Chain A
Amino acid sequence: MANILPPGTAAPDFSLHITPDQKLSLSELRGQPVILAFYPADWSPVCGDQMALYNEILPDFQKYRAELIGISVDGVWCHAAFAKDRNLHFPLAADFEPKGEVSRAYGAYRPKDGVSERALFVIDKNGVIAWSYCSPIAVNPGADGILQALENLPK
């Protein structure tokens, strides 16, 4: 499994497309907690789907003023179709060109498969990684770790 960036590391900044004509930079979100959820691919099997779960728990994340961003190497149009189909209410960033660059910066890329790991990062309001976790690729990590990390952030 990949060596993902550990807690205490400054979260590498990035600027990625979240829609065909809109980019999102991590630095824009300074001042509030950010959850980065790297995942291998859009359109993974229904129901067990990690993004659908986070979508459901979004109000709990918002209690901590945390912003959730899903990141995979899928392109913006793929993300748009996926988000529409699953009724997702949070941005999906396209780590598409140069492919996987941001995933690599976080140590969350699988060069052999050409996709991101199932890696989670909770970044504090100062842009420092407070918690990170890399799940076996076939195991959806759930949300309990994220919620615990948000709870542990200094108020």
Chain B
Amino acid sequence: MSKLSIPVGKDDHLQGDPAAACVLVEYGDYQCPSCGQAYPIMKRLQKHFGKRLAFVFRNFPLTQLHPWAEPAAEAAEFAGAHGKFWQMHDLLYENQQQLGESLLLELSDTLDLSSSQLLTAVAEHTYQEKVKADFRGGVRSGVNGTPTFFINGIRHDASYDFATLTAAVESVLP
């Protein structure tokens, strides 16, 4: 059974209470269509479980398969450095079909971020190390593709549809 080798900590992007009874970690890629399908399911799960569920997103861009995965991940980290990680994360998935440079610029405008600073950060790979650290940690934890989920630190190998994930989350709740 694969386990999360890097515990959830202060460097993570986390929604909810870090001490929630269930912590769901997703390793995802912004250009991966399966992650795009998982995105609304995450929203539904968070709504369904409320305070009992915390959600963490970590980067796992498959750069050889998805040329915009890495720039998108770095753009989200850039937004994160300005306190807007989740807004960028959500907008990237909501507009996944249009992923590309013009979308990144458009989204930085939407979020009142400087588009020139964003472009510089992406071009100079300011946030690459953070993305790579997520990736390396994921590999060590047995992330085997995207999306990969961990529920309270244990890899979820079953399907990630709403019903299956709901049952898996319920099984760890007191």
A and B interact: yes
Residues of chain A having any CB pair with chain B under 8 Å: 46-50, 52-53, 55-57, 60, 86-89, 139-144, 147
Known contacts: A87-B65, A143-B139. The answer to whether A53 contacts B144 by CB under 8 A is: yes
CB atoms of B64 and A89 under 8 A apart: yes
> Which of the residues A52, A60, A89, A147 comes within 8 Å of B145, measured between beta carbons?
A52
21 A–B contact pairs at CB < 8 A? A46-B33, A47-B29, A48-B144, A48-B145, A49-B145, A50-B144, A52-B62, A53-B62, A53-B139, A55-B64, A56-B64, A60-B139, A86-B64, A86-B65, A87-B64, A87-B65, A88-B64, A139-B157, A142-B142, A143-B139, A144-B139
In the complex, how many angstroms separate the beta carbon of A21 from the nearest chain B beta carbon? Answer: 25
Closest to A143 in B: B139
In the complex, chain A residues whose CB is within 8 Å of the CB of B32 = 47
Determine the chain B residues whose CB is within 8 A of the CB of A89 once the complex forms: 64
Contacts from B to A (Cβ < 8 Å): 2, 5, 29, 32-35, 62-65, 135-136, 139-146, 157
User: Which are the 3 A-B pairs with shortest beta-carbon distances?
Assistant: A48-B145, A142-B144, A140-B144
Besides A48-B144, A144-B142, 20 new A-B residue pairs in contact (Cβ under 8 A), listed by A number: A46-B33, A47-B35, A47-B62, A47-B145, A48-B34, A49-B145, A52-B64, A52-B65, A52-B145, A53-B139, A53-B144, A56-B63, A60-B136, A87-B64, A89-B64, A140-B144, A141-B144, A142-B139, A144-B2, A144-B139
Give the Cβ gap from A59 to chain B, nearest Cβ, in Å.
Answer: 10
Please give me the residue from chain A that is nearest to B35 by CB atom: A47
Interchain CA distance A64-B76 in the complex, whole Å: 32
Provide the residues of chain B in CB contact with A140, threshold 8 Å. Answer: 144-145
A26: shortest Cβ distance to chain B, in Å?
25
Q: Is the interface of B mostly helix, strand, loop or mixed?
A: loop
A144 to B155, CA, bound (A): 13
B141 nearest CB neighbor, chain A only: A144
Bound complex: CA of A139 vs CA of B141, how far in Å? 15
- Report A-chain residues with C-beta under 8 Å of the C-beta of B5: 144
Residue of B nearest to A138 (CB): B157
From the candidates A46, A57, A143, A144, name the one contacting B65 in the complex (CB within 8 A). A46
Question: Is the CB–CB distance between B146 and A47 below 8 Å?
Answer: yes
- Please, how many angstroms separate the alpha-carbon atoms of A142 and B32 in the complex? 17
In the complex, which residues of chain B have a beta carbon less than 8 angstroms from the beta carbon of A48?
34, 144-146
Tell me which residues across on chain A come within 8 A of B63, comparing CB atoms.
56
Closest to A88 in B: B64
Q: Are B139 and A47 neighbours in the complex by a CB distance under 8 Å?
A: no
A-chain residues with CB within 8 Å of residue B135 when the two chains form the complex: 56
CA distance A86 to B64 in the complex (A): 7
Complex alpha-carbon distance, A89 and B63, angstroms: 13
Contact yes or no, B65 A142, CB < 8 A: no
* Chain A residues near B65 (CB-CB < 8 A): 46-47, 49, 52, 55-56, 86-87
